[in-house]
Amino acid sequence: MGVRPVGTELRGRTVLLTGGSSGIGAATAEVLARRGCDLLVTGRDEQALNRVAERTGARALVADLCSPEELRRVAERASHAEVLINNAGIGWSGQLEEMPASEVHRLLTVNLAAPVELTRMLLPAMRARGRGHVVLMSSIAAVGVGGEAVYSASKAALRAFAASLRYELSGDGLAVTTVLPGAVRTPFFQRRGLAYERSFPRMLSAETAAERLVRAVERGREESFLPGWLDLAARFQGALPGTFHHLGRRFGQVR
């Protein structure tokens, strides 16, 4: 990967956090507030976002990242951001042929196009300052999950985008961290249309996931699996893809 990125000291840094109104995003906002960050949080739920802002002292910006105009507005408001945490994401569970075209477009826009665009728009200023940190929220579903084909594809593409971006930024003083969570106790599963009912892997709390996300930024981690042992699943897929997918078909969804 070239020069390994160094950790980012967060105290006093200006941070843009998308998807900050609930779940991992809201918990991350609280961790960043304790770190002393100058924080701008975005989300679509105005009431929930304002509650997060009141708890954390963050500035709130209501925005729908599906809208190119609102995406540009977010980038303009966050033009001085030194850390960009692309956390916003949505899911959808079911067979591909049953997924409405509008939902395919919305999911790919929020999960993939929006973070790519925000990163593209904020990178010039980061390069000019000679420092910056981009965080991309992927998922263990990037290895492929039955019943979540489009979601898995979006998260795999985001992981590949992050890996490619590291090559471009090598030696520029900028860092890229990819976060790959497994099951986290948030409203995500209800919103995607299928509750998480497994006893294993056990769900992480949003607070634990947020603390580990922030720690990965501070330590300059290129990839951070939540929990850490999920790294084995990704390595297993890479080493023995046939066996991995055979087990996936036998035991059902990975996530």
Q: Is residue 159 part of a domain?
A: yes
Q: Each residue of 200-231: pLDDT tens digit?
A: 567 789 999 999 999 999 999 999 998 675 66
Task: Determine which of 125-129, 165-169, 192-196 has the lowest per-residue pLDDT on average.
Answer: 192-196
pLDDT tens for 9-57 read: 999 999 999 999 999 999 999 999 999 999 999 999 999 999 999 999 9
CATH number of residue 182's parent domain = 3.40.50.720
Give this prediction's pTM: 0.86
Question: How many domains does the structure of the chain reveal?
Answer: 1
**Residue 193 covered by a domain:** yes
Q: Is the pLDDT of residue 242 over 50?
A: no
Q: What pLDDT, in 10s, does the model give residues 58-117?
A: 999 999 999 999 999 999 999 999 999 999 999 998 999 999 999 999 999 999 999 999
At 147, give phi and psi (nearest 5°). Answer: 85, 0
Question: What is the identity of the amino acid at 148?
Answer: E
- Strand-pairing partners, residue 59, are 40
| Residue 164 included in any domain | yes
Residue 243 lies in a domain: no
Instruction: Examine residue 4 and state whether it is found in any structural domain, yes or no.
Output: no
160 domain residue, yes or no: yes
- The predicted structure's pLDDT at residue 183: 78
pLDDT at residue 98, rounded to an integer? 95
Secondary structure class of 68 (helix, strand, coil): helix
d(CA 241, CA 243): 6
For residue 203, what are the domain limits? 14-230
Annotation says 151 is catalytic: yes
Distance in angstroms (rounded) separating the CA atoms of residues 14 and 81: 5
pLDDT at 127: 95
**186: β partners:** none
Confidence check: pLDDT of 246 > 90: no
Q: Is the pLDDT of residue 161 over 90?
A: yes
Dihedrals phi, psi of 206, to nearest 5 degrees: -60, -35
**Is the confidence at residue 152, as pLDDT, over 80?**
yes
249 in a domain, yes or no?
A: no
Tell me, yes or no, whether 254 lies in a domain: no
Which is the catalytic residue, given 41, 52, 71, 151? 151
